Amino acid sequence: MASNMKHEKLEKLAKLVRYFILSATTEAGSGHPTSSLSATDLMTVLLFGGFFRFYADEPAHPNNDRLVFSKGHASPLLYALWGAAGKITEKELLTLRKFGSRLEGHPTPAFPYADAATGSLGQGLSIGVGMALNAKYLDKLPYRTYVLLGDSEMAEGSQWEAMEIAAYYKLDNLVGIIDVNRLGQRGPTMYERNLDVYKKRVAAFGWKAITIDGHNLDEISASYRKALRTKDQPVMIIAGTVKGKGISFIEDKDGWHGKALSREDYEKALKELGEVDKETRGKISRPKKLRPEQLQPQPAGDPDYDPAKPIATRKAYGYALKRIYPAYPEIVALDGEVSNSTFSEIFKEAFPERFFEMYIAEQNMAGAALGLATRRKIPFVSTFAAFLSRAYDQIRMSQYSNANLKFCGSHAGVSIGEDGPSQMGLEDIAMFRAMDNSVVIYPCDAVSTDRLVEEAAKYRGIVYIRTTRKDTPIIYGKDEDFRIGGCKVLRRSDSDAATVVGAGITLHEALAAYEDLKRDGISIRVIDLYSVKPVDEATLKEASRVTKAIITVEDHYPEGGIGDAVRTALATSAVQVHSLAVTKMPKSGKPSELLDYEKISKGAIIQKIKEIL
């Protein structure tokens, strides 16, 4: 196709895309037409200008280029592009934002051309980093990852985490496009259309920075060509654009963010747009038919712990990853510069090519893990439990991407001791429980950690594994079975006065309390609630029927943790549930001092039982 003809065709397609955007949003009565129009030319050239390579009938093809709309509110543009590619009908475009439609207000994987849910700003670039890491270091495929970014969202720190890590890993297969349309939701951005500010920052973070007029099709094409030629560094195209571009009465105007045109304005807009060829469709280039090398699962060995030697569950986490990797060759591990504390370093040392150091940048770590998960990897992400709170928005968003992601938070609770409250995970169970379909695992010894890490690898979905800093005794034999949703009744008799439910560090306190109470002639039931979500309702209900009270004990704040999980399971039982949890502002001290201070130690359990009986 001669350049002129190509240019003409692209203009035609851009017009069609604009028409689709306006039709869909006006029909929906809401949405973000102006934010879509500003990026229309940029994306039309990308998809239909011969740059983007994608088997449109096989969105899951491993060598397809990836496209992430980090500015998820431009979803009408995303849908319109695939409309212009002939992959969704005009009729379906008009279902935008309607209940049951695949075309949600912000993209989700319900739409087959969206790999991940976006819409919480500043997350798409990290997802792109994960996809690009996969192409360059794991699947070793030539696909490229493109991320459409808004100018407002460049204020998010997570973007600069993604920038630094992408440069560090020399991701020359990653292209970001900033749609600098000058206007945020409630007015101008910090830098309006000053492309130079963005350019300086982008370059300082080690990327190749290209500034262009985002409505000049030739400049756009040239920038993609330049991007494709760049080696050893990621590329950012910084495009000056006009919000609402193409429709004069909404162009560059404040007050038009997230607003659909009325029917009347819509008709006016169509007149301005002029004749639209509604039958024209764009062609997307195809990539090479490459697939990654198939990794053959090999049998994993058995865990091998000396039952006489206490060992921290955080350490068992690292050994478990190393042990099971041959059987789950899609595993990758990411760590936030604390691998010698979370012990993901044990895995790193064994399989360095499957480990990514993500430095102290937890948001990007979580986002990149999601990107890896979209490329069929099984990411295990580790840092201190407390610091996973840094990435809660990214973690929360990944539940809408059907993500297969595993998080391990070490240093749970006050039992870490001297480092003090800043390093103590005390809200992490609450955080991970409060998500759709999440799993929360909290093992108390090395054997259960090992087995449950394997269960996490098998399970498809978001799993949180909580580990403990200090060494704990091994209480399980190596052939013991553990399952998501299970628990273990460790002490039971026909005359149990009460049931104590613990997990992790407090399970050992409960076992110690059992021994002391036995000497006093009191027998209690002790349950290891290693699966905090889902919880083994049946076993808890049985205990509630045969013992007088349930006492939960946890190294976590009282809200959202084990107490709440048990009470929910027993909400329609008549049993009393008493809870011991961290209720005083924690401080530095020895682990045992802090367990006593917070009244979650053996002594506190015994006291509580004697109070109740």
Task: Determine which one of 156, 219, 330, 362 is catalytic.
Answer: 362
Active-site residue 554, yes or no?
Answer: no
Nearer to its own copies, 5 or 585 (CB): 585
Nearer to its own copies, 189 or 241 (CB): 189
112 binds its own copies (CB under 8 A): no
Q: How many angstroms separate the CA atoms of 333 and 600, rounded?
A: 33
Choice from 33, 76, 105, 287 touching its own copies (CB under 8 A): 105
352 binds its own copies (CB under 8 A): no
164 binds its own copies (CB under 8 A): yes
610 binds its own copies (CB under 8 A): no
Which window, 305-313, 388-396, 468-476, 510-518, contacts its own copies (CB under 8 A)? 388-396
End-to-end CA distance of the chain: give it in Å, rounded.
Answer: 87
Which window, 54-62, 242-250, 417-425, 441-449, contacts its own copies (CB under 8 A)? 417-425
Choice from 60, 86, 112, 190 touching its own copies (CB under 8 A): 190
Distances (CA, A) of 97 to 256, 263, 399, 515: 18, 17, 19, 60
Q: Which tokens belong to 374? A: 């979209």
Amino acid in position 600: I
Least CB distance from residue 125 to its own copies, whole Å? 11
Choice from 423, 459, 471, 473 touching its own copies (CB under 8 A): 423
Count residues contacting its own copies (CB under 8 A)?
107
Rg (CA), the chain: 27
Largest alpha-carbon pair distance within the chain?
Answer: 93
Residue (of 594, 227, 179) closest to 414 by Cα position: 594
Choice from 373, 408, 565, 595 touching its own copies (CB under 8 A): 565
Q: Are 161 and 361 in contact (CB under 8 A)?
A: yes
Question: Which strands form 488-491's sheet, in the order they lie side by side?
Answer: 488-491, 524-528, 498-502, 549-553, 576-580
Residue (of 49, 105, 126) closest to 81 by Cα position: 49
Q: Interaction with its own copies in 529-558: which residues (CB under 8 A)?
A: 533, 556-558
Least CB distance from residue 123 to its own copies, whole Å? 9
Choice from 225, 263, 278, 587 touching its own copies (CB under 8 A): 587
Q: Are 487 and 532 in contact (CB under 8 A)?
A: no
Q: Which tokens belong to 300? A: 């994993």
Least CB distance from residue 496 to its own copies, whole Å? 19
For residue 534, whether the previous peptide bond is cis, meaning omega lies within 30 degrees of 0, is: yes
Least CB distance from residue 450 to its own copies, whole Å? 23
Q: Which tokens belong to 439? A: 């799993």
How many residues can be counted in the chain? 613
Choice from 142, 567, 599, 607 touching its own copies (CB under 8 A): 567
Choice from 136, 208, 390, 508 touching its own copies (CB under 8 A): 390
Q: Interaction with its own copies in 353-372: which residues (CB under 8 A)?
A: 359-361, 363-364
Which window, 214-222, 266-274, 404-412, 579-587, contacts its own copies (CB under 8 A)? 579-587
Choice from 65, 115, 219, 427 touching its own copies (CB under 8 A): 427
Q: How many angstroms separate the CA atoms of 557 and 133, rounded?
A: 37
460 binds its own copies (CB under 8 A): no
SS3 content of the chain, % helix, strand, coil (to 5): 40, 15, 45
Residue 93 Cα to chain centre, angstroms: 28
509 binds its own copies (CB under 8 A): no
Which window, 91-99, 134-142, 240-248, 447-455, contacts its own copies (CB under 8 A)? 91-99
Residue 200 Cα to chain centre, angstroms: 30
Least CB distance from residue 121 to its own copies, whole Å? 6
Q: Are 585 and 421 in contact (CB under 8 A)?
A: yes
Nearer to its own copies, 55 or 597 (CB): 597
Residue (of 145, 146, 162) closest to 154 by Cα position: 162
Active site residues: 362
